[in-house]
Amino acid sequence: MTETVDQDVTDRDEVRTIVAEEAGRKEEFNRKDRRSKWSRWIVLFVFAMVLTAGTLWWLHSQNYEFTDDAQVDGHLDVVSTRINGTVTYINPQVENNQFVKQGALLLELDPRDYEAELEHAKANLATATADEHSALSNVPVVNASAFGQFHAAEAAKEQALAGLESEQANLVAAQHKLEQDEAVYARAERDRVRYLALVEKHEISRSDYDARETEAAADAQGVETDRAAIASAEQRIAERRNVVVQRQAEIEAARSAPQQVTDARAKSESASGHLKQARADLRSAQLNLSYTKIYAPVSGIIGRKTVEVGHRIQPGQGLLVIVPVDDVWITANFKEVQLKRMQPGQPVTIHVDTFGRDYKGHVESLPGAAGPLFSLFPPENATGNYVKVVQRFPVRIRLNKSEDAERRLRPGMSVEPTVKVR
């Protein structure tokens, strides 16, 4: 009886075990079935998400162009000197990373050499002014003197010619008088010879002969006087001719009056040129003296300061750099395939890595050539080593007004611009 009961218990346990195993298999099957259904749904959901993401990415790529090859750009104004000199003073505020305003005094050079040059230029200007005044006043004097001499020489020649003509007339008159006196003397001499023969024959008195002899002697003296007058007239004519020649020479000398006036005017113009040069030298000396004080050309942050008090500097030597932070832009290097629909004026969103925020801007201009062409050694594809590479073009992007009111952007910061091309 006891064995029968134990056998029944054992059978019931086995039945329950079998029933439990069967229920577990059903539960496991149901669980796997539910897991399979969830897996299919998850796969479908992931596929839908991927499809949606791909669609959105494709739509985004059609409407936007993005690059991470971009940075904030700006001017780097190098402050240098125009003259050489020794630094005697530097503004205490002139240090790296310090802000300076436009027109602020940065440093001074020793001005003593340039002050001496300025005084020398002033003295030269005074001398040139006096020379120019003297040369200008000399022109009318030379003009009046030279032409006055010419006219005086012409008048003197006319006078000499008139005197020559008068002496020639006197000579002709003297020659005529000589001819008359010679005729009178010849007649008187003939009378004397005839009276001499008569007095020797005692046909006339001695007193009559003496009268004829005295008259003949007087006529002979008159002839000699006339001959002397002719010789004197000829001498005066020769002298008058010499005077005429001298007056002609004076006229020829006076003919250079226009040249003298031209020379005087040339000297005046030369003096005026020297005066202008002296004024230019004075202006240059004033400028050089003003260059001993160096002022900030723009407002900005100082960087790369290399000058100290006592340094001897040369023209063109860089002393420091000023970065104007109020004039910055974005230089974005887009691939050439991204420029198809890009135009100036399109809106841009600029993400700045430094601050983790976005700025708004717009495309300001497109480049004229690819970036590598502006390099020191541009590529030359004609060498035969050509490998096609997608080129990048530097596009300039300008921030909208009031986007960087705090002036926090600095040249060199990395940014990621996104241009809306549609």
Evaluated on CA atoms 329, 332, 333, 336, the torsion sign reads negative
Residue 45: pLDDT over 60: yes
| Structural domain boundaries enclosing 223 | 114-279
Q: What is the CATH number for 382?
A: 2.40.30.170
Strand order in the sheet with 99-100: 77-80, 318-323, 300-303, 99-100
Q: Is 422 helix (H, G, I), strand (E, B) or coil?
A: coil
- What is the DSSP code (8-state) at residue 110? -
Q: Which tops the pLDDT comparison, 282 or 22? A: 282
Where residue 61 falls among pLDDT bands split at 50, 70, 90? low
Tell me: do 160 and 209 sit in the same domain: yes
Domain assignment present for 20: no
Check whether residue 313 and residue 348 sit in a common domain.
no
pLDDT tens for residues 276-310?
Answer: 898 999 999 999 999 999 999 999 999 889 999 99
Q: Is residue 337 part of a domain?
A: yes
Whether residue 229 sits in one domain with residue 296? no
Shared domain for 205 and 140, answered yes or no, is yes
Select the more confidently predicted residue: 184 or 113.
113
Rounded (to 5) percent helix, strand, coil in the chain: 60, 20, 25
The answer to the question of residue 341 being in a domain is yes
Domain annotation covers residue 40: no
Q: Are residues 68 and 172 in the same domain?
A: no
Together in a domain, 308 and 392: no
Q: What pLDDT, on the 0 to 100 scale, is given for residue 383?
A: 59
Q: Per the domain annotation, does 12 fall within a domain?
A: no
Q: Are residues 344 and 268 in the same domain?
A: no
The domain that holds 296 is classified in CATH as: 2.40.50.100
Model pLDDT for residues 64-115, shown as the tens digit of each residue: 888 999 999 999 999 999 999 999 999 999 999 999 999 999 999 999 999 9
pLDDT class of 417 with cuts at 50, 70, 90: very high
Instruction: Decide which of 279, 312, 341 is a domain's last residue.
Output: 279
Do residue 266 and residue 385 come from a single domain? no
Question: What percent of the chain clears pLDDT 90, i.e. is strictly above it?
Answer: 32
298 & 370 share domain: no
Judgement on whether residues 169 and 240 belong to the same structural domain of the protein:
yes
* CATH code where residue 266 lies: 1.10.287
Task: Work out the angle at residue 303's Cα, subtended by the Cα atoms of residues 297 and 309, and round it to the nearest 5 degrees.
Answer: 80
CA dist 172 and 80 (Å) reads 96
| Domain final residue pick, 279, 310, 335 | 279
Residue 140 lies in a domain: yes
Question: Does residue 363 or residue 37 have the better pLDDT?
Answer: 363
27 lies in a domain? no
Mean residue pLDDT across the chain: 79
Whether residue 144 sits in one domain with residue 249: yes
Q: So what's the pLDDT on residue 386?
A: 62
Per-residue pLDDT, 300: 92
Q: What would the pLDDT profile of 403-413 be if each residue is shown by its tens digit?
A: 888 888 999 99
Tally the domains of the chain: 3
Do the domain assignments include residue 8?
A: no
Least confident among 165-174, 184-193, 258-267: 258-267
